[in-house]
Amino acid sequence: MKEKQTKTISHTDIVYTAIFGSLWGLSEIFFGTALQTMRIPFRGAIMSVAAVMILTCSKEFVRYRSSIIVIGAVAATLKAFSMMNFSITPIVAIFLEALIVEAVFLIMGYHVVSSMIGGGFILLYTFTHGLIMHGIFFGSQIYRLYINILKEIASWLNVHEGNLYLFLIAIALMYFVVGAVFGSIGWLIAQRANKIIQEDLP
C-alpha cells in the first residue's frame, strides 16, 4: 500500500512540484548571479534564506513524501543548465538543503515549529558548509590549523580560548535563529496564500 502511495502522485502535485522547483531554481540562478557579480558578503546565507522560505512554503501545497527532494532535484537541474562551467558544489548544496528540510518534516510533520527547525538547520548547514568543504579539500589537518589560529587570537586578545569557541557557537546560533525566523515567515506566507486560494474558489 505504502509503495503504491509513493508511486502515484496527482497531476496537481506534479504542477505544484514544478512551480516550487522552478521558483527555487530561478532564485538560485538570479540571486546567485547577482550576488556573485556585486561581490556581496554572506552570499551563501542570503541564498539559503530564499531557499528556506521556498521550501517551508512548498510543503503546504505538496504534501507527498519526498516532495522537497524532488523540488531540490528540479532546482539543481535548472541551476546546472544555467552554469557556463558545470560545477558540483552548488548542486550538492541545493540537494543537501532539500534533504535536511525533508528529513525534518518527515520526523516532525509540517507545522510552524518544524518549519522553524528546518529553516534553522539549513542556515546552520550554510554556516558549516565552508568548514566541511575545507576538510574535504585540505584534510583534517586544516582543523588543527584553525584551532592554532584561534589559540593565537585568544593570546593576542588576552582572552580565554574557550570564550572564542563560545563566540563561534554564538554565531552558529545566530544563523540558526535567522533560519528559524525565515522558516516561520515561509510557513506564514504559505498559510496566507492558501487562504487566498480557498477564498477565490467558487
Binding region for other proteins (CB under 8 A): 6-7, 9, 11-12, 14-19, 21-23, 25-26, 53, 57, 61, 66, 69-70, 73-74, 76-78, 80-81, 83, 85-88, 91, 136-139, 141-142, 145, 148, 152, 185, 188-190, 192-197, 200
- As measured in angstroms, the least distance from the Cβ of 106 to other proteins is 16
Considering the complex, state which of residue 123 and residue 185 has its C-beta at the smaller distance from other proteins: 185
Q: Residue 10, class by beta-carbon neighbours within 10 Å (0-12 exposed, 13-18 middle, 19+ buried)? A: exposed
d(C-alpha 11, C-alpha 106), whole Å: 22
- As measured in angstroms, the least distance from the Cβ of 152 to other proteins is 7
d(C-alpha 181, C-alpha 190), whole Å: 14
Considering the complex, state which of residue 83 and residue 173 has its C-beta at the smaller distance from other proteins: 83
- As measured in angstroms, the least distance from the Cβ of 162 to other proteins is 20
- As measured in angstroms, the least distance from the Cβ of 170 to other proteins is 25
d(C-alpha 110, C-alpha 103), whole Å: 11
In the chain, which ranges are continuous DSSP H helix?
2-7, 11-38, 43-61, 67-82, 88-108, 112-138, 141-157, 161-200
Considering the complex, state which of residue 91 and residue 101 has its C-beta at the smaller distance from other proteins: 91
Nearest by Cα to 123 from 22, 30, 53, 29: 53
- As measured in angstroms, the least distance from the Cβ of 71 to other proteins is 9
d(C-alpha 91, C-alpha 80), whole Å: 7
Residue in this structure with the C-alpha cell 546565507, named with its chain if needed: 45
Considering the complex, state which of residue 73 and residue 103 has its C-beta at the smaller distance from other proteins: 73
Residue in this structure with the C-alpha cell 531554481, named with its chain if needed: 25
- As measured in angstroms, the least distance from the Cβ of 153 to other proteins is 11
Considering the complex, state which of residue 12 and residue 170 has its C-beta at the smaller distance from other proteins: 12
Which grid coordinates belong to 123? 542556515
Considering the complex, state which of residue 68 and residue 124 has its C-beta at the smaller distance from other proteins: 68
